[in-house]
Amino acid sequence: SQQGEEDPQALSIQEGENATMNCSYKTSINNLQWYRQNSGRGLVHLILIRSNEREKHSGRLRVTLDTSKKSSSLLITASRAADTASYFCATVITGANNLFFGTGTRLTVIP
C-alpha cells in the first residue's frame, strides 16, 4: 500500500501563479523527498527534507515538513508551463532505505 497520499489529485493554474501540493504519510520517517515525473517517464529528484528540518528552499521550490501532523507541502512559486508534470512525495521510513511513494498530484500550468 502507498505510504503517502497527495492532495489535491489534480491542480490547474495559470502561468505565474503559485502551486501548492500537500502530502500526508503514516509512519515515522527518516526523510521525505519530492519528485517530478513528465508524461509517465522517469522520476526527477527535486528536493529532500530530513525529519529534523521544518523548511527547505531550492530555487522556486519551498518544502515544509510537520512531523507532528505527518504532513509536508511543496510550493512552486511563479509557475511556468514547463512545470506541468506529476509530482510525488516519497518517504524513507525509519528502519528502511527504500522509497514509499504517494499517489501524486497532476499539475497543469496554463500559458
Partner 1 sequence: ETGVTQSPTHLIKTRGQQVTLRCSSQSGHNTVSWYQQALGQGPQFIFQYYREEENGRGNFPPRFSGLQFPNYSSELNVNALELDDSALYLCASRFDTVTDTQYFGPGTRLTVL
Q: Interface residues with partner 1 (CB under 8 A)? A: 2, 4, 31, 33, 35, 40-45, 48, 88, 90, 92, 96-104
CB of 50 to partner 1, least distance (A): 8
- Output 62 or 106, the one with its CB closest to partner 1: 106
- Output 2 or 94, the one with its CB closest to partner 1: 2
Closest CA to 107 of 86, 89, 88: 86
- Output 79 or 105, the one with its CB closest to partner 1: 105
Cis-peptide, bond into residue 8, ω within 30° of zero: yes
Tell me the three cell numbers of residue 25.
504519510
> Is the Cβ–Cβ distance between 29 and 94 less than 8 Å?
yes
CB of 105 to partner 1, least distance (A): 10
